[in-house]
Amino acid sequence: MRPLRAGAAALAAALTLTLAGCGVGASGDDRTRLTVLAAASLTEPFDELAQEFEASHDGVDVVLGYDSSSTLAAQVVEGAPADVLATADARTMRIAEEAGATRGEPATFATNSLVVVVPAGNPADVDSFADLQRDDVTYVACAESAPCGTLARDLLDRNRVTARPRSLEVDVKAVLTKVELDEADAGLVYASDAVAAGDTVETLPVPHASEAPNSYLVAPVQQSAEPDLAAEWVELVLSDRGRQVLDDAGFGGPTP
Amino acid sequence: MSRNRLGRPPAYLLLPAGLAVALLLVPLASLVARAPFGSLLERLAAPEVLDALWLSLWTATAAMLASLVLGLPLAWLLARVEFPGRSLVRTLVTVPLVLPPVVAGVALLTAFGRTGVVGAPLRELGVTIPFTSTAVVIAHTFVALPFFVISVEGALRATSQDYDEVAAVLGARRGAIFRRVTVPLAAPGIAAGLVLGWARSLGEFGATITFAGNYPGVTQTMPLAVYTLLQEDLEAAVALSLVMLLVSVVVLALLRERWFGQAAR
Q: CA of A70, closest CA in chain B: separation in Å?
A: 5
Tally C-beta pairs within 8 A across A and B: 68
**Per-residue pLDDT reduced to its tens digit, B213-263:** 999 999 999 999 998 888 777 788 888 899 888 888 888 787 776 655 554
Q: Output the pLDDT for position B247.
A: 83
**Per-residue pLDDT reduced to its tens digit, A105-147:** 999 999 998 999 999 999 999 999 999 999 999 999 999 888 8
How much is the average pLDDT of B183-187? 91
A7/B12 Cβ within 8 A: yes
- B209, part of any domain: yes
Max mean pLDDT among A5-19, B34-48, B63-77 falls in B63-77
**Per-residue pLDDT reduced to its tens digit, B22-49:** 999 999 999 898 888 888 888 888 888 8
Q: State the residue range of the domain holding B63.
A: 47-264
Residues of B in contact with A3 (CB under 8 A): 10
| Domain total in chain B | 1
3 state DSSP class of A141: strand
Q: If residue A218 lies in a helix (H) or strand (E), which one and from where to where?
A: strand A214-220
- B61, part of any domain: yes
Distance CA B238, CA B34 (A): 7
- B11, part of any domain: no
Q: Output the pLDDT for position A29.
A: 59
**Per-residue pLDDT reduced to its tens digit, A154-197:** 999 999 999 899 999 988 888 999 999 889 999 999 999 999 88
B12/A11 Cβ within 8 A: yes
A3/B213 Cβ within 8 A: no
Torsion of CA B72, B120, B127, B216, to 10 degrees: 80
Q: Output the pLDDT for position B262.
A: 54
Structural domains in chain A, sorted by start: 31-111+215-248 (3.40.190.10), 114-211 (3.40.190.10)
β-strand pairing of A32-39 with A60-67: parallel
**Per-residue pLDDT reduced to its tens digit, A32-63:** 999 999 998 899 999 999 999 999 999 999 99
Residue A7 has pLDDT above 70, yes or no: no
- B34, part of any domain: no
Closest partner residue to B228 among A74, A143, A181, by Cβ?
Answer: A143
How much is the average pLDDT of A210-216? 86
Q: Output the pLDDT for position B23.
A: 96
B115/A143 Cβ within 8 A: no
Residue B3 has pLDDT above 70, yes or no: no
Can you list the pairs that B40-44 forms with residues at least 24 positions away whose Cβ atoms lie under 8 Å? Answer: B40/B239, B40/B242, B43/B235, B43/B236, B43/B239, B43/B240, B44/B239, B44/B240, B44/B243
Distance CA A175, CA A189 (A): 7
- B191, part of any domain: yes
Residues of B in contact with A184 (CB under 8 A): 131
Residues of B in contact with A183 (CB under 8 A): 109, 113-114, 130-131
Nearest CA in chain B to A142: B214
Q: Output the pLDDT for position A16.
A: 43
Instruction: For residue A12, count CB atoms less than 10 angstroms from its CB and return exposed for 0-12, middle for 13-18, buried for 19 or more.
Output: exposed
Q: Output the pLDDT for position B261.
A: 53
Top pLDDT among A255 and B59 is at B59
Q: CA of B231, closest CA in chain A: separation in Å?
A: 5
How much is the average pLDDT of B9-17? 93
| Widest CA span in chain B | 74
Q: Output the pLDDT for position A117.
A: 95
Predicted complex ipTM exceeds 0.90 = no
Q: Output the pLDDT for position B121.
A: 93
Residues of B in contact with A96 (CB under 8 A): none
Q: Output the pLDDT for position A98.
A: 92
**Per-residue pLDDT reduced to its tens digit, B145-172:** 999 999 999 999 988 888 888 888 898 8
Name the interface residues of B facing A (CB cutoff 8 Å): 10, 12-13, 109, 113-115, 128, 130-131, 209, 213-216, 218-220, 227-232, 234
- B199, part of any domain: yes
Domain of B230, CATH number, reads 1.10.3720.10
CB environment A192-219: b (16+ within 10 A), e (fewer): bbbbbbeeebbbbebeebeeebbbbbbb
